[in-house]
Chains A and B, each alone.
Chain A
């Protein structure tokens, strides 16, 4: 209904455009001696929600800015719907972007902010106000059109920024850590809302974040970047269950590093043998990468482990165990069966019956402690 009426008014409606695919080809960007993007190849399907995840300095923001046109790559191409837009200025790319910092124009009201892109495009006043109202409604701020940005909370400002980015019915939505300045609760709420709106509009979306929980919870696929290169692009489930590299394994979710030995295609760890998952380094001492839920802990007076802390978090409880060799591992157990695992309790820790991912021993590894993403 909306689509029909909007089209009869001669406008591109928000909902009647199929998602446009994006392709990055051997994208390279140097800042002095630093290689921010290193021949990055990436295909984003039309209508897909892709998250770019990585530690700071991994090139994720540079990649996004190359797509937006704020940063010209030294080499490589950006293709939008098959068209080379590498040399197209940012103002002609037809993309909506939400920034990390609050970016609303302070001298304009909320409604004027949302209508800014339409004013630049010289649309009629009636269309501008109509579209602004429609979008403010979409982000749940229909009653705030007359306010000024500084009268809104951070979360509301980012909602308005989202409405403003979508008002011009862009081909692509770019999100540059739009939630990182917000409170934890607002962050979760807004990321779900972004996902809802993205699904509703079917718009191709690239979401840059350093927060793995954020990336895993909203994206269709997540690309993990490291030093300007993609380590892995996969669905959140696959990324978590079958990380392609040790870096991905440790960056996504919580990962224990347990000293282990590799022999005959099997991993020996914590007094047990488990099949090897993924590629194998040379036989000998390795580090096994084990998720907290892939370890089993049981009270055992003869056990060599000691419970250090017990952190309750609803359905599950995380137990931090110091092993005999001093290494610490995090183990998740169902809260219902964790009552006797109080600090100081002697325990044994065994790996669950599933294949184990291993990494080569790093000389500078921090004593085999668990790595928290």
Chain B
């Protein structure tokens, strides 16, 4: 989906005809279309194939929406989907609660820690999720092995409650750190946050007030971006949920793909669509805000 947006951006910056055309410009234009077509094929063919597979009626031939209409009633779908949405919402809230003050602090009060924080937030990208989850699993297994009948063991077990596994929230927050940090940091750097917070402090605002009334509105777009990236990450995460043995939306899709292959693909297509719609919604919200302000 990123590449599709990239293509949109690329068409938007095609130089106006009155700009001087450098030699070979025509050839470069042709190459641009080649790249677009190759990329389009690369991304659209699998999606098209999935869509075709999910609407093809194997019995009588022709097309059917049967597999889509069957989604809401499919066994386990509602639970898994709701659980994933809940996990995503909790992850977004927790990641923002953690990172908004961090980013603001690093930019305003502790600029010397910037490199450290940047490196720390990069760790989840460097560490393969599989290594992370193996570590998490062995730590969780300490509970029955060493701490049985202690409050700590109770806490560990509570973290692994199958209906709402909080442990996944914590691991997802870690996984989301690189994206959340970068989205927020870009927003903070774009605005002169130091002057704005000082102006608010000077006018008598307490620190919590500064955060709510000044920082968050300024970071609105970045917060939206960070939330969206986190949401997409959680709704698509399979490895960790599967290895820790929890049923989330992605693991449910994989589970039903054996018995109901067309339904599982229909669900995948649908989730892709939902992600796109969310993305478009966010950029539309942002654009409308821009329009309102420049009106």
Contact B202 A95 (CB under 8 A): yes
Out of A105, A151, A164, name the residue touching B217 (CB < 8 Å).
A105
A196 in contact (CB, < 8 A) = no
With A107-B218, A107-B220 in contact, is A168–B204 under 8 Å at CB?
yes
B32 in contact (CB, < 8 A) = no
Q: Which of A84-102 contact B (CB under 8 A)?
A: 89-97, 99, 101-102
CA distance A110 to B191 in the complex (A): 18
A103 in contact (CB, < 8 A) = yes
Contact A103 B192 (CB under 8 A): yes
Contact B195 A164 (CB under 8 A): no
Interface SS majority for chain B:
helix
B2 in contact (CB, < 8 A) = no
A150 in contact (CB, < 8 A) = yes
With A91-B206, A92-B204 in contact, is A106–B191 under 8 Å at CB?
yes
- Which A residue sits closest to B210, measured CB to CB? A91
A117 in contact (CB, < 8 A) = yes
**Contact string against B for A residues 174-197, beta-carbon threshold 8 Å, 1 for contact and 0 otherwise:** 100000000000000000000000
Contact B203 A120 (CB under 8 A): yes
CA distance A173 to B200 in the complex (A): 15
Contact A91 B202 (CB under 8 A): yes
Out of B195, B203, B294, name the residue touching A116 (CB < 8 Å).
B203
B209 in contact (CB, < 8 A) = yes
**Chain A residue total in the interface (Cβ 8 A):** 32
CA distance A89 to B90 in the complex (A): 35
Distance (whole angstroms) from the CB of A295 to the closest CB of chain B: 44
- Which B residue sits closest to A167, measured CB to CB? B203
Q: What chain B residues lie within 8 Å of A120 (beta carbons)?
A: 200, 203-205, 209, 213
A260 in contact (CB, < 8 A) = no
Q: Which of A133-171 contact B (CB under 8 A)?
A: 148, 150-151, 161, 164-165, 168
- Which B residue sits closest to A98, measured CB to CB? B199
Q: What chain B residues lie within 8 Å of A117 (beta carbons)?
A: 203-204
CA distance A168 to B214 in the complex (A): 18
Contact A99 B198 (CB under 8 A): yes
Q: What chain B residues lie within 8 Å of A94 (beta carbons)?
A: 204
B66 in contact (CB, < 8 A) = no
Contact A97 B206 (CB under 8 A): no
B8 in contact (CB, < 8 A) = no
- Which A residue sits closest to B206, measured CB to CB? A91
Distance (whole angstroms) from the CB of A203 to the closest CB of chain B: 15
A121 in contact (CB, < 8 A) = yes
Contact A121 B217 (CB under 8 A): no
CA distance A161 to B195 in the complex (A): 12
B196 in contact (CB, < 8 A) = yes
Q: What chain A residues lie within 8 Å of B214 (beta carbons)?
A: 105
A70 in contact (CB, < 8 A) = yes
CA distance A96 to B213 in the complex (A): 18
Q: What chain A residues lie within 8 Å of B201 (beta carbons)?
A: 69-70, 89-91
**Contact string against A for B residues 136-180, beta-carbon threshold 8 Å, 1 for contact and 0 otherwise:** 000000000000000000000000000000000000000000000
CA distance A105 to B204 in the complex (A): 15
Contact B199 A97 (CB under 8 A): yes
A68 in contact (CB, < 8 A) = yes
CA distance A151 to B293 in the complex (A): 8
With A116-B200, A116-B203 in contact, is A107–B217 under 8 Å at CB?
yes
Q: What chain A residues lie within 8 Å of B198 (beta carbons)?
A: 68, 70, 90, 97, 99, 103
Distance (whole angstroms) from the CB of B213 to the closest CB of chain A: 8
Distance (whole angstroms) from the CB of B294 to the closest CB of chain A: 7
Contact A103 B206 (CB under 8 A): no
- Which B residue sits closest to A94, measured CB to CB? B204
Contact A103 B195 (CB under 8 A): yes
Q: What chain A residues lie within 8 Å of B206 (beta carbons)?
A: 91
Distance (whole angstroms) from the CB of A259 to the closest CB of chain B: 47
CA distance A94 to B202 in the complex (A): 8
11 example contacts (A-B, Cβ-Cβ < 8 A) are as follows A70-B198, A89-B201, A91-B205, A92-B204, A102-B195, A103-B196, A103-B199, A105-B196, A116-B213, A120-B213, A121-B204
Residues of B within 8 A of A (CB): 191-192, 195-196, 198-206, 209, 213-214, 217-218, 220, 293-294
Excluding A92-B204, A99-B199, A101-B192, 16 further A-B contacts by CB distance (< 8 Å) are A90-B198, A91-B202, A101-B195, A105-B200, A105-B214, A105-B217, A106-B293, A107-B217, A107-B220, A116-B200, A116-B203, A116-B205, A120-B200, A120-B204, A120-B213, A174-B202
